[in-house]
């Protein structure tokens, strides 16, 4: 059996799960409602207690919406951050915290880091297993966007070749990220430093924008890319070449000012592991896969996610309890009607069916509204987060939320039998007298 | 249907008997009036005869079947198939239309009988003077007299063998009450319905085959037609 289950496509498994979660509610509905036409009475109850009903629906909707929204948003963030790391196969830095260096390279949360020298860079760049090695040079910014020095090869890799305009041809030309508010043909003078500490007016050289990358869904969309030589020259360093006027690799080790990180594209998966082994050196270098580091981070956050899920479930249980309580009270207010039905000869199952169907309308309406709210909330949150980080977040209600909702409806359906059965237990004659 | 009652009593709190009848019988298609002061136990006796009081003791034999001895489910089925009940304060479903109220049984009756119940209910409403155009209006919007007529239509919609009516003319003016009395007795006669009415209305009691008076839960015969 487990093998059969595992052999099914994921979508089929999800559908089957959904079906299994909804099935008990459908069976209850079939058993209770079969052969009856309780709709007019259900409508009457919905109308009679309309304000209370709306409150119940709102309560359910908010709890489901919060639960679904949080799960959706968390998944979107996880997927989005993983996608942003996709194009950074491997990074080599000086030994330290791989998380810090991953944040600095993939997410451009730049921190001061020890530099790797030219000899080492050339060793990496000329390694037979390396397809592409690029230095990164930080230090300047323009209107809050970091100006990052690197190589033509890396820019092409990052943009997957989709660059509008043209590639730079001298150190003072730039390719901008998709979210940068500069047009091709604009020019700017970079400020020294990053963020709030940036100082205008220290550098004199104007940089012209000559190209724009297609969106990458990563914080690099908000970066301005220039040749590494440009950053080095601006800061009065050597430009990496023995003879002036050269642009890009190969670099001359003696004139290489150093780089905090080397982005490496290995030739194959096997070469990636070889390279990682080779460049993990005590006191000298550290090689890591950003995707794997991120995976570890997500695993750590998984505990937080679990805690959130538990909180969500507790919240939903409380709401379910509140709704059940109000159903008990409402079905008491409906006691006279129930007694009339019983006096007219209606079977007990019919009375249960009316109260249960009424409860289910509230439950299903609340749950569906909740999913819509959850989707909306996640979308809103994602939009805010995206605008801050440029991570491409795709917040869409997914299977886990649908499963959660289906489970909630079925559980609620089972609980709703209680007030329904309670409605049946009251003495008929007393209720007929108005008791 | 005919009924024979044998030592029926409805016990109340502290050993009190809310309503009782040592021996009582009504032939099929016959009619019985129950009169008496308020609180005498008329409604209680009516409920007991219709099998709505599980605490009732004794025997109530409808066509020979003891209602009190039956299980709750069988009792309910018997009520659905054979009894019509007009309650003292109508007890309509306020939000449903007049037609839906009169055809209330159709909501739970076997599918095959639904159409017949709806047709009969509509016919009864018409016969009782409710215009068809009005029958979609919610029951709450009708006057007391009209509500009473809807209640009667509901009681007759299943073509019952017995009709219980608790003060059916109480909220009607004289002319409407007389019309309703004519209608009830005529329908009962035409369809052979056994009629058991609680009433203070002499005009209604006059038309009953037999009238019994109740006081403090007990029956005393006053007149035979
Ligand atoms: N469940 C009960 N527990 C205690 N006393 C009850 C109960 N049901 C009815 N009674 C009492 O039994 C008596 C008979 O009530 P019932 O409703 O049968 O009177 P009634 O003859 O129909 O009066 P009315 O003409 O006012 O309708 C009343 O005194 C009432 O308070
Ligand atoms: Mg009474």
State residue B225's pLDDT score: 40
Is B43 close to ligand 1, i.e. is its CB under 6 Å away?
yes
| Same domain, residue pair A267 and A210 | yes
pLDDT band at residue A61 using 50, 70 and 90 as cut-offs: very high
Q: Is B189 on the interface with A (CB under 8 A)?
A: no
State residue A323's pLDDT score: 85
Are the beta carbons of A432 and B107 separated by less than 8 Å?
no
| Same domain, residue pair A345 and A410 | yes
Answer with the one of A288, A317, A332 that is the final residue of a domain. A288
Answer with the one of A258, A288, A318 that is the final residue of a domain. A288
pLDDT band at residue B224 using 50, 70 and 90 as cut-offs: very low
Judging contacts by C-beta atoms under 8 Å, the chain A residues touching residue B73 are 347-348
Are the beta carbons of A348 and B47 separated by less than 8 Å?
no
| Same domain, residue pair A304 and A366 | yes
CB A209 within 8 A of CB A174: yes
pLDDT digits (tens, 9 = 90+) for B72-115: 889 888 888 899 999 888 889 999 999 999 999 999 999 999 99
CB A261 within 8 A of CB A93: yes
Q: Nearest CB to B107: which of A41, A342, A429?
A: A41
State residue A204's pLDDT score: 67
Residue range(s) defining the domain that contains residue A252: 90-288
pLDDT band at residue B23 using 50, 70 and 90 as cut-offs: confident
User: Cα–Cα distance between A178 and A193 in angstroms, integer?
Assistant: 22
| Same domain, residue pair A398 and A272 | no
Residue with CA closest to ligand 1 atom 1 = A430
Judging contacts by C-beta atoms under 8 Å, the chain B residues touching residue A345 are 76-81, 83, 105
Q: What is the mean pLDDT of residues A21-47?
A: 93
Distance from CA of B224 to the nearest CA of A (A): 30
| Same domain, residue pair A304 and A428 | yes
Answer with the one of A255, A288, A321 that is the final residue of a domain. A288
* ipTM score: 0.90
CB A76 within 8 A of CB A395: yes
| Same domain, residue pair A331 and A279 | no
| Same domain, residue pair A342 and A245 | no
| Same domain, residue pair A57 and A145 | no
Q: What is the mean pLDDT of residues B40-55?
A: 92
Residue B48 CA to ligand 1 centre (angstroms): 12
pLDDT digits (tens, 9 = 90+) for A128-153: 989 999 998 888 888 888 899 999 99
- Of B16, B18, B20, B90, best ligand 1 pocket probe by most atoms within 8 Å of the beta carbon: B18
| Same domain, residue pair A126 and A165 | yes
CB B22 within 8 A of CB B218: no
Q: How far is CA B191 from CA A193, B1, B113, B156, in A?
A: 102, 11, 18, 10
CA nearest to A38, candidates A391, A257, A356, A395: A356
| Same domain, residue pair A94 and A14 | no
State residue B73's pLDDT score: 86
Structural domains in chain A (count)? 2
Test the B interface: residue of A45, A341, A343, A428 with most B CBs within 10 Å: A343
In this structure, the strands spanning A163-165 and A191-192 are: unpaired
For the cut 80, the answer to whether the pLDDT of residue A196 exceeds it is no
A144 φ, ψ (degrees, to nearest 5): 85, -15
| Same domain, residue pair A208 and A233 | yes
pTM of the predicted structure, to 2 decimals: 0.81
Is B12 close to ligand 1, i.e. is its CB under 6 Å away?
yes
pLDDT band at residue B218 using 50, 70 and 90 as cut-offs: confident
Mean pLDDT of chain B: 90
Strand partners, B165: B86, B197
Residue with CA closest to ligand 1 atom 11 = B18
pLDDT digits (tens, 9 = 90+) for A238-285: 888 888 778 888 888 888 888 989 999 998 888 889 999 888 888 888
Q: What is the mean pLDDT of residues B142-158?
A: 90
How buried is A362 (Cβ within 10 angstroms: 0-12 exposed, 13-18 middle, 19+ buried)? Answer: buried
Q: Nearest CB to A41: which of B91, B93, B105?
A: B93
| Same domain, residue pair A130 and A253 | yes
State residue A21's pLDDT score: 94
């Amino acid at each position: 059996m487990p093998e059969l289950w595992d052999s099914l496509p994921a979508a089929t498994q999800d559908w089957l799960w959904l079906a299994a979660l909804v099935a008990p509610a459908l069976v209850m509905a079939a058993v209770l409602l079969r052969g009856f036409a309780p709709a007019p009475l259900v409508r009457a109850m919905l109308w009679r207690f309309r304000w209370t009903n709306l409150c119940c629906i709102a309560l359910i909707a908010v709890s489901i919406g919060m639960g679904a929204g949080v799960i959706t948003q968390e998944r979107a963030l996880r997927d989005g951050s993983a996608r942003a790391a996709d194009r950074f196969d491997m990074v080599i830095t000086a030994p330290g915290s791989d998380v810090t260096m991953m944040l600095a390279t993939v997410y451009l949360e730049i921190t001061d880091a020890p530099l790797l020298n030219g000899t080492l860079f050339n060793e990496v760049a000329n390694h037979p297993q390396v397809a592409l090695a690029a230095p990164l040079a930080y230090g300047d910014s323009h209107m809050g966007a970091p100006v990052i020095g690197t190589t033509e090869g890396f820019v092409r890799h990052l943009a997957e070749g989709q660059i509008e305009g043209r590639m730079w041809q001298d150190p003072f030309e730039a390719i901008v990220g998709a979210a940068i508010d500069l047009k091709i043909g604009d020019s700017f003078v970079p400020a020294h430093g990053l963020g709030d500490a940036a100082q205008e007016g220290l550098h004199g050289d104007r940089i012209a924008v000559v190209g724009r990358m297609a969106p990458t869904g990563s914080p690099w969309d908000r970066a301005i890319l220039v040749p590494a030589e440009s950053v080095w020259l601006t800061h009065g360093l050597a430009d990496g070449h023995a003879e002036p006027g050269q642009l890009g690799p190969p670099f001359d080790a003696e004139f290489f000012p150093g780089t905090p990180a080397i982005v490496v594209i290995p030739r194959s998966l096997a070469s990636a592991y070889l390279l990682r082994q080779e460049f993990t050196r005590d006191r000298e270098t550290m090689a890591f896969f950003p995707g794997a580091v991120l995976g570890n981070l997500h695993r750590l956050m998984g505990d937080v996610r679990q805690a959130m899920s538990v909180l969500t479930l507790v919240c939903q249980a409380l709401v379910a309890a509140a709704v059940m309580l109000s159903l008990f009270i409402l079905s008491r207010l409906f006691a006279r009607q129930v007694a009339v039905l019983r006096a007219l000869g209606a079977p007990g199952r019919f009375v249960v069916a009316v109260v249960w169907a009424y409860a289910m309308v509230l439950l299903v309406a609340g749950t569906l509204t909740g999913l819509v709210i959850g989707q909306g909330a996640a979308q809103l949150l994602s939009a805010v987060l995206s605008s801050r980080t440029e991570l491409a977040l795709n917040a869409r209600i997914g299977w886990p939320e649908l499963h959660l909702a289906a489970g909630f409806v079925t559980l609620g359906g089972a609980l709703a039998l209680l007030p329904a059965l309670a409605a049946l237990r009251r003495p008929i004659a007393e209720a007929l007298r108005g008791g | 249907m005919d009924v024979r009652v044998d030592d029926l009593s409805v016990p109340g709190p502290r050993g009190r008997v809310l309503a009782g009848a040592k021996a009582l019988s009504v032939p099929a298609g016959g009619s019985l009036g129950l009169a008496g002061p308020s609180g005498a136990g008329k409604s209680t006796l009516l409920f007991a005869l219709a099998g709505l009081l599980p605490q009732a003791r004794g025997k109530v034999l409808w066509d020979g079947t003891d209602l009190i001895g039956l299980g709750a489910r069988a009792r309910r089925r018997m009520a659905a198939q054979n009894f019509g009940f007009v309650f003292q304060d109508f007890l309509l479903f306020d939000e449903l239309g007049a037609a839906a109220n009169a055809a209330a049984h159709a909501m739970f009756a076997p599918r095959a009988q639904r159409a017949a119940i709806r047709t009969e209910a509509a016919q009864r409403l018409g016969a009782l003077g409710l215009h068809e155009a009005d029958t979609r209006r919610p029951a709450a919007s009708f006057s007391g007299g009209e509500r009473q007529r809807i209640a009667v239509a509901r009681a007759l919609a299943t073509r019952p063998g017995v009709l219980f009516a608790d003060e059916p003319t109480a909220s009607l003016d004289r002319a409407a009450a007389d019309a309703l009395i004519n209608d009830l007795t005529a329908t009962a006669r035409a369809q052979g319905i056994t009629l058991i009415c609680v009433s203070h209305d002499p005009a209604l009691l006059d038309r009953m085959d037999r009238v019994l008076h109740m006081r403090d839960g007990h029956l005393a015969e006053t007149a035979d037609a």
